[in-house]
Structure 1
Amino acid sequence: MEKSIETMWKEGFLNKDALVAPKVNNLYNKKSLHISAKFKRMFLNNILGIIICSSLLFIGSYFAGALIAGSIVLIMMLYVAYTAYNELKSLEKIDKGQSSYLFLKSYKNWIDQSIERYGKMYRFLYPLLILTVYLGIWFSGSFENIRERVSENSDLFFGLHLGTTLLVLSIAILMSVFSKAIHRKDVQIIYGGILNKLESSLEEMEQLRN
């Protein structure tokens, strides 16, 4: 029966002269490169999804009579896509010539730092998006009849329904306060599978190194 990868690694790690060590290193190198390549594909697909969705929303805002709001949202989301693309380019700078363990360790550090940076950015982006969409819908041409009916039954504050506006403002503030937690949850939903593989691979390597 062939030896398990774990057994091969321990033998190769404990005995510098063991011929099996290069084979195990090669296996882990391939696994590390597979994880990084899959993450990169998912990241690129996410950027493309942001561009497509924001473009469709912009087109929809034109027909809904909310072109200004749609334009603002499009600019914000294109900025997110642009920063994400630059983040991905910085990921290419990680040295692929180092050991698979150090390579994945660097990869994880990059992901953690990226999540932290985006969490700070979304502290402002989330509330801006919510308020822009709300104002865009409220003042859109397709919402005109509803605005008129609301104004007949209640006083408007600068053309806005006070209760609804306060509710939206509260949601925007909460989104700002919990932006990091919300972003981490989003990352887990989108990249959870590949991140779990990265974590398990690192844990496996750390156990075998000890």
Structure 2
Amino acid sequence: MEKSIETIWKEGFLDTESLIAPKVNNLYDKKSLHIMAKFKKMFLNNIRGIIIVSSLLFMGAYFAGALLAGSIVLIMMLYIAYTAYNELKNLEKIDKGQSSYLFLKSFKVWIDQSIERYGKMYRIVYPILILTFYFGIWFSDSLIDVRQKVSAHSDLFFGLHLGTTIFVLTFALLMSIFSKSIHRKDVKTMYGGILNKLNSSIAEMEDLRD
């Protein structure tokens, strides 16, 4: 009995040495490498964006008279860019010689682990950035007149407006608590298209393996 097209497709996909349907393996290989290449390009652009934005914020803080706050933000953002670059180097260690299915599964594991690590890191990063922005802007030279007007109408607590400070502290705490969920949504927003292609490709391959 002749083999069905579906059987030939599966055998060609599952057996890397098969001569039955070598184009199938080649198709999935190219598709897998394309998904990773597109992700890496976006990831690198994201790193460059972090460096550019942090540099602009530092210059803005300098001219606003909030050099200390600007320096803290710059250091934090550069640290994030540095850790992201190291994450990208770990991605390069995935064996490209393995089957397309195992390659994409390894890629997905890397993404899940990276999201988990960044979620934990942002528990600290988010509140630090929020508080640095707040204190830096409030005590900057450009807001001297504003502080004087506020102090004329309400009592300040260590030079800070109590109600505003409580609100900012609460917001920073909530950002820390929900850092993982927020980061996952950010990743979905930035890389959602690629992640959908990755998941659909893995699901398609798993159907062929059944």
- The TM-score range, normalised by the shorter chain, is over 0.9
Give the percent of matched residue pairs that are identical in Structure 1 and Structure 2. 77
Q: Distance in 1 between matches of 2:133 and 2:141?
A: 14
In structure 2, the CA distance between the partners of 1:157 and 1:47, relative to structure 1 (3 Å rule), is: same
- Partner SS state of residue 93, structure 2: coil
Q: Distance in 2 between matches of 1:169 and 1:141?
A: 22
Whole-angstrom distance in 2 between the partners of 1:16 and 1:32: 15
RMSD of the alignment, in Å? 1.8
Q: 1:8 to 1:144 in 2, by over 3 A?
A: farther
TM-score normalized with structure 1 length:
0.93
Following superposition of structure 1 onto structure 2, how do residues 98-177 of structure 1 map, counting pairs within 5 Å?
98-177=98-177
Residue 209 of structure 1 deviates from its aligned partner by: 0.8
- SS of the residue corresponding to residue 98 of structure 2 reads coil
Unaligned segments of structure 1, at least 5 residues: none
- TM-score of the two chains, using structure 2 as the length reference: 0.93
Higher mean displacement: 140-149 or 158-167: 140-149
Secondary structure at 1:23 match in 2: helix
Q: 1:65 to 1:6 in 2, by over 3 A?
A: farther
- Asked whether the equivalents of residues 120 and 179 of structure 1 are also in contact (C-alpha less than 8 Å), the reply is yes
Are the counterparts in 2 of residues 8 and 24 from structure 1 also a CA contact under 8 Å?
A: no
Kept in 2: contact 1:65–1:141 (CA 8 A): yes
Q: CA deviation at 1:15?
A: 8.8
Number of positions where the alignment pairs a residue of Structure 1 with one of Structure 2: 206
Q: Distance in 2 between matches of 1:72 and 1:90?
A: 27
Deviations 1:58-104 (A, max 9, x none): 00001111111000000000000001001100111100000000000
Q: Which residue of 2 aligns with 1:63?
A: 63
> 2:39 corresponds to which residue?
39
What amino acid is aligned across from residue 156 of structure 2 in structure 1?
L
